[in-house]
Amino acid sequence: MTMTRRGLVASAAVTGTLALWQAEIVSAMAEAATPAKEPAVKDPAVKEPVVKGPVVKDQPLHQVSPHVFMIEAPDGFPTPENQGLMSNITFVVAKHGVVVVDSGASLQIAEMAIRQLRTLTRAPVVGIINTHYHGDHWLGNHGFVEAYGSGFPIYAHAGTRQAIEGNSGTFWHDSMLKWTSDATAGTRIVPPTMSVDNGFTIPLGDVTLRLHHYGQAHTHSDIAVEIVDDHVVCVGDIMMDRRIANMDDGSYKGTLNTIELLIKNCKPEAWVPAHGDAGMKVLEWHRSLFMGIYESCVTAVKQNIPLEGALAVALKDPRVSGKATETRGWEKNIGKYVSIAYLEAEQDLF
Ligand SMILES: [Zn+2]
């Protein structure tokens, strides 16, 4: 039932309430829910474009904590102008080397990130963590493997690996080309190589990473990365700062539950989202938006207000409407965002 209703939302999206790229994500995610019969990893010699997309303009590296540095993407959605630079790339710089948390949306973005990293340290990259399977978080794997060899592990949840090796990987690779007018050309699919789950630790000499997974949140297979000694948590897309997440595979209740467990188990002093600024305020921003939306939808379902009326109920909540002006892509996406929450509330209540 959920997939059918979400399919209806997708149909509405195609009629014009959503950006084209998001409408495409809706249908592709439904497809991606079915594992591919065969891995869809491409043979670069046969299928990749001959031409490589242009160099990505340098973005500054910001220090978040003693071991954590971040390149912040100014935009929230992929365009030809931003060449797919829509999500942050985070480096943990430690005694035993550098670990990358989310590698960006293309070979060129990864190359830009490596240029910035090398202004800071000549230490090698010794691991990548892909927080989930949306392409802006892992298509850059190619650039890091080109620069540092393929001898280091690329960590992800098993569900993320399955998605990238299946239809979802090909979908994101091809879509990023389309959305950026081929600016990401030359990027090859390099899937994660090691499955990790809640509790997995990566010792790096002077700092330890601990991974967290508490079931479905932004997707069914998110990994949050705690930089234990710095009291920092990289949350991928579990939380965002002034951005609207793609919740097609997500759960509002699951996200709120995951956030509470991360607070309880990590006691962080800074959150690092993959979209927007790092810091403490992302927690309250995201949590209050999600609570506002989900609780409004529960109210709407209990009052027998139909799906079409849920947005009006949600916009009466100041936790929701108060974020409209500062959030990128609000107008085009809030309707669908609320619809997904309504369907989850409906399923939860009946
Ligand atoms: Zn995502």
For residues 343 and 345, give the distance between their C-alpha atoms in angstroms, rounded to a whole number: 5
* 3-state secondary structure at position 129: strand
Give the residue with greater pLDDT, 75 vs 279.
Answer: 279
Domain assignment of residue 137, given as a range = 2-349
Would you state the pLDDT for residue 244?
A: 86
Please state which of the ranges 6-10, 40-44, 152-156 shows the lowest mean pLDDT. 6-10
Would you state the pLDDT for residue 18?
A: 44
Would you state the pLDDT for residue 114?
A: 98
Q: What is the total count of domains within the chain?
A: 1
CB-based burial, 189-227: b 16+ in 10 Å, e otherwise: bbbbbeebeeebebebeebebbbbbbebbbbbbbbbbbb
Under a CB-based contact definition with an 8 Å cutoff, are residues 93 and 106 in contact? no
Kindly tell me if the per-residue pLDDT of 208 is higher than 90.
yes
Give the residue with greater pLDDT, 184 vs 9.
Answer: 184
* Average pLDDT value for residue range 31-58: 64
Return residues with CB closer than 5 A to ligand 1 (ion).
134, 237
How many angstroms is it from 246 CA to the middle of ligand 1? Answer: 6
Kindly tell me if the per-residue pLDDT of 2 is higher than 90.
no
How many angstroms is it from 303 CA to the middle of ligand 1? Answer: 32
Kindly tell me if the per-residue pLDDT of 20 is higher than 50.
no
Would you state the pLDDT for residue 235?
A: 98
What CATH number did the domain enclosing 310 receive? 3.60.15.30
Under a CB-based contact definition with an 8 Å cutoff, are residues 79 and 182 in contact? no
How many angstroms is it from 218 CA to the middle of ligand 1? Answer: 7
How many angstroms is it from 137 CA to the middle of ligand 1? Answer: 7
Residue-wise pLDDT tens digits, 69-119: 999 999 888 999 999 999 999 999 999 999 999 999 999 999 999 999 999
Residue-wise pLDDT tens digits, 285-298: 999 999 999 999 99
How many angstroms is it from 120 CA to the middle of ligand 1? Answer: 28
Residue-wise pLDDT tens digits, 150-170: 999 999 999 999 999 999 999
Nearest of 192, 195, 199 to residue 214 by alpha carbon: 199
CB-based burial, 13-50: b 16+ in 10 Å, e otherwise: beeebbbeebbbbbbbbbebeeebeeebeeeeeeebee
Confidence band for 3, pLDDT divided at 50, 70 and 90? very low
Would you state the pLDDT for residue 17?
A: 42
Taking the model in full, what pTM does it have?
A: 0.87
How many angstroms is it from 206 CA to the middle of ligand 1? Answer: 30
How many angstroms is it from 132 CA to the middle of ligand 1? Answer: 7
Strands 232-236 vs 89-94: parallel, antiparallel or unpaired: unpaired
Strands 97-101 vs 89-94: parallel, antiparallel or unpaired: antiparallel
What percentage of the chain exceeds 70 in pLDDT?
Answer: 86
Kindly tell me if the per-residue pLDDT of 31 is higher than 50.
no
